[in-house]
Amino acid sequence: MSTPLPSPAFDRPFRPRFHLGATRMDCGEEPRVDSYDAAEQATGWPLFDYSACDPTIDQAAINRWLARSVLDGKDILHIGAGNSSVARLASGRANRVVALTVSQAEFEHARNLGLPDYAIHLMNKHATAFADRFGSDEFDLVLDNNLTSFVCCQRHAERYLATLTGLLKADGTIVTHWAGMQWTLDVGVGDVEPAWQLDETKLSSIADAYDLHVRREEDLFFLSRIPA
């Protein structure tokens, strides 16, 4: 009987593509939708369920930018659906909005809107399920105001960032915001390493690792393959 070959992925040591000072290289767990339940329960305020909340100041700033942008025919991926403000704003303008959430309430709120060309997925963005979900789909705009706010470890952050880059059209753009870049989960349960609080230098390190260029417009940051 022949001995099975070891999986190359198992054999290969994990080599980070960028260094922001995080020490937790691999949390050892597949990220799940309920990974943050304990953190949500530890707070007396909404943390992951924004279905009944106004958008945060960073989401609102992205939405103001969207409101004055040409969205005709655009495919938009919104990470962190909240109250589906992006889908409602883009409805009838963009080609489609696809959103992700880890909140069952946000998921149901989104579905109950009944918006055409709006698809919501209950999925952890750091999970393999997300990395595998969209195949060769590509988006013009990827919006995530909390790019690294909920990172469990370097390995899963890199999986997520590689997935986002792979989902960008050649002239596509990832949009994020200073306020969300600066904030990481810090409620005393499942806290994120402060090293994941981003400044311009750290965002540039991430961008370099994925061959992206960074452009700043006030507190909005744009990452794209094509230099501005």
Residue 154 interacts with ligand SAM (CB under 6 A)? no
**How many CB atoms are closer than 10 A to CB 148?**
25
Residue 66 interacts with ligand SAM (CB under 6 A)? no
Burial status of residue 111 (CB atoms within 10 A of its CB: 0-12, 13-18, 19 or more): middle
Residue 184 interacts with ligand SAM (CB under 6 A)? no
Residue 35 Cβ, how far from ligand SAM at the closest point, in Å? 7
Cα separation of 190 and 211, whole Å? 31
**Binding residues among 69-98 for ligand SAM as defined by CB under 6 A:** 79-82
Using CB under 6 A, pick the residue from 84, 101, 163, 173 that binds ligand SAM: 101
Q: Which residue, among 148, 193, 152, has the nearest Cα to 31 in the 3D structure?
A: 152
Long-range contacts of residues 55-59, Cβ cutoff 8 Å, at least 24 apart? 55/82, 55/83, 55/85, 56/82, 56/145, 56/179, 56/180, 57/179, 58/145, 58/146, 58/177, 58/178, 58/179, 58/180, 58/219, 59/85, 59/86, 59/145, 59/177, 59/180
* C-beta of 150 vs 221, nearer to ligand SAM: 150
**Span interacting with ligand SAM, options 13-21, 53-61, 196-204, 209-217, rule CB under 6 A:** 53-61
**Binding residues among 128-147 for ligand SAM as defined by CB under 6 A:** 145-146
Using CB under 6 A, pick the residue from 22, 61, 77, 106 that binds ligand SAM: 106
Residue 113 Cβ, how far from ligand SAM at the closest point, in Å? 15
Residue 48 interacts with ligand SAM (CB under 6 A)? yes
Within 13 Å and on the Cβ side, how many CA atoms surround 181? Answer: 19
Residue 121 Cβ, how far from ligand SAM at the closest point, in Å? 9
- Binding residues for ligand SAM (CB under 6 A): 48, 50, 55-56, 58-59, 79-82, 100-103, 106, 124-126, 145-146, 150
